[in-house]
Structure 1
Amino acid sequence: MGNAEGRAPRRAQPRGNPGSFDELHRLCKEVFPPQMEGVKLIVTKTLSSHFQVTHTVHMSTLGPSGYRFNATFVGDRQLGPTEVFPTLLGDMDSSGSLNAQALHLLGDHLRAKAVFQTHQAKFVTWQFDGEYRGEDCTATLTLGNPDLLGGSAPNWVTTLNVGYGGAHASYYHRANEQVQVGVELEANTRLQESTFTFGYQLTLPGANAVFRGLLDSNWSVGGVLEKKLPPLPVTLALGAFLNHCRSRFHCGFTVTVG
């Protein structure tokens, strides 16, 4: 039998490119609240359209306190809201440890990234990545050469990353403009343990506030509330985390300027 009269034929929706390897789990992880402890002050200064610096002071009672300096340079070629080439990032703490990244576009489909890390002026590690970005797929080659399987849709992203040490799967879903949820599963074959994490994000545009909550299989619960104070370029964040099994509780407060 033919199609009913007046019914439009269904068209396959284009899947689009799933994004780079490093960004596959980003949407899911951004839903989870970041760990906060102590007091943190972040000051960001934009020096030009290409150069930006950030000063961070962290005072903690559980871990070491310190100062971090971050510098970011971006070029003129912009492919998207978060893709500008070339990009150079450097982050150094008060002990002299450095994390540096360089990203460059080699062509319409090829991207390259170099990562260097030192610890207290001693060279620790380096890594080079090469990435091919097609219309509906991404192929990434790194030193570890992990396998990759991913798919995406307009309002959800599901990702499975499999390697020799285990597997990492995540699912991100945007219900609407205010509600986002994420589920993450990490399995480590060497340690023979798995971790399941559920997180959600609530955006309140009228209150200039964002709340992120988290619950994992280790019986840890936590939340972070971020509040912007327009017209001032100031963002306040308050977070608290509790582990019932280990009877651990910590909280933190962050002020971001810029």
Structure 2
Amino acid sequence: MSDPAAPPQSGTTHDAAPSAPPSRNPGSYDELHRRAQDVFPMVFEGCRVAVQKGLSQHFQVSHTLNISPNMTGYKFGATYVGSNVQGPGEAYPVILGDTDASGNTTATVLHQFGPKWRTKLQAQIQKGEIAGAQGSFERKTDLYTAGITLANTNILNDSGVFVAQYLRKLTDKLDVGMEYMNSYGPRIPGGSFSVLSTAARYTTANWAAALAFSKHSTHISYFHKQAPNLAFGVEFTANAMHGDAVTTLAYQAELPDEGVTFRASVDTNWTVAGVMEKRLSQTLPFTIALSGMLNHQKNAGKFGMGLIIG
């Protein structure tokens, strides 16, 4: 089950982390297809200006102004990363959130208790009411990650979502796992709906392939590192209940000397998308982003331009 928001999996800090052997933990079940999905462009629409400012080693704020047909307004964000270092580039707790001028707010708290237990709490408030809430708990060892998630649980009308996940490392390259999801509530036919999924992932130094399937759906991804600055990703998703299937091909190219990163994708629905990021200066933190998406079948598209400072 994907998170409603996509916060960083761990915090970063400038404090020196104690040396430790590399972890053999396979990661969480939600990260099965992450290497391929990281290649795909994150398309946006309209104009966007974002200013990010680090106030200390542990605290950062951001100011974002969006002008688009779907969302126009100002948003303030803040991120706090604690000093509880659990590994290189990994520190807890992590507290982040953002709010707009209307008071719509999202917040995430991520904390790890010792080397094995981690919890994540998320909430979303819209128009003065709680629009969504989710809590997850994970146990991580060198060989597996097991976790449970409770989302939008309402004890008054007996509704919500329960998810249990397990991902285990069989060899240095092969991981297998399972996910059980149960949605229940008075609006669901029969009172509840359950899905059991099985997954596997094979990882090498230059490529990774992952497969997850259930009775009603299939999800396959492939990542390939062609060169240090060039990577490809392929993703196939099919849902028998919705009667659709989509294959998407994407690539990411980097020009480090020019400060340019380009991501593009094309899928079987005839949708072409691309995002280019260009660092304007080697000494000043100014980055410009250009985004575009065009669906040839529907003759629809959206385009955006952004400036990131910080």
TM-score (norm 2): 0.72
- Percentage identity across paired residues of the two chains: 39
Partner of 2:109: 102
CA distance in 2, matches of 1:107, 1:16: 17
Shift of 1:47: 0.6
Deviant stretches of 4+, over 6 Å: none
**Equivalence map 1:173-192=2 (5 Å):** 173-192=224-243
Letter in 1 for 2:199: L
Partner of 1:46: 54
1:15/1:187 CA distance change after superposition, 3 Å: farther
Residue 213 of structure 2 corresponds to residue 159 of structure 1: no
1:176/1:80 CA distance change after superposition, 3 Å: farther
Shift of 1:211: 0.6
Shift of 1:140: 2.2
**Equivalence map 1:109-258=2 (5 Å):** 109-143=116-150, 144-145=162-163, 147=179, 149-151=199-201, 152-162=203-213, 166-229=217-280, 230-258=282-310
CA distance in 2, matches of 1:207, 1:64: 32
Residue 67 of structure 2 corresponds to residue 59 of structure 1: yes
CA distance in 1, matches of 2:119, 2:102: 29
CA distance in 1, matches of 2:307, 2:270: 28
Other structure's SS at 1:27 match: helix
Q: 2:77 aligns with which of 70, 80, 84?
A: 70
Contact 2:96/2:109 (CA < 8 Å) preserved in 1?
Answer: yes
**Where does the alignment leave 5 or more consecutive residues of structure 2 unmatched?**
1-21, 151-161, 165-178, 180-197
Contact 2:86/2:115 (CA < 8 Å) preserved in 1?
Answer: no
Question: Greater relative contact order (Cα 8 A, min sep 6): structure 1 or 2?
Answer: 1
CA distance in 2, matches of 1:46, 1:138: 33
- Cα RMSD after superposing both structures: 2.3
Counting matched residue pairs gives 244
1:150/1:96 CA distance change after superposition, 3 Å: farther
Contact 1:158/1:171 (CA < 8 Å) preserved in 2?
Answer: yes
Letter in 1 for 2:106: N
Letter in 1 for 2:204: A
Shift of 1:165: 6.6
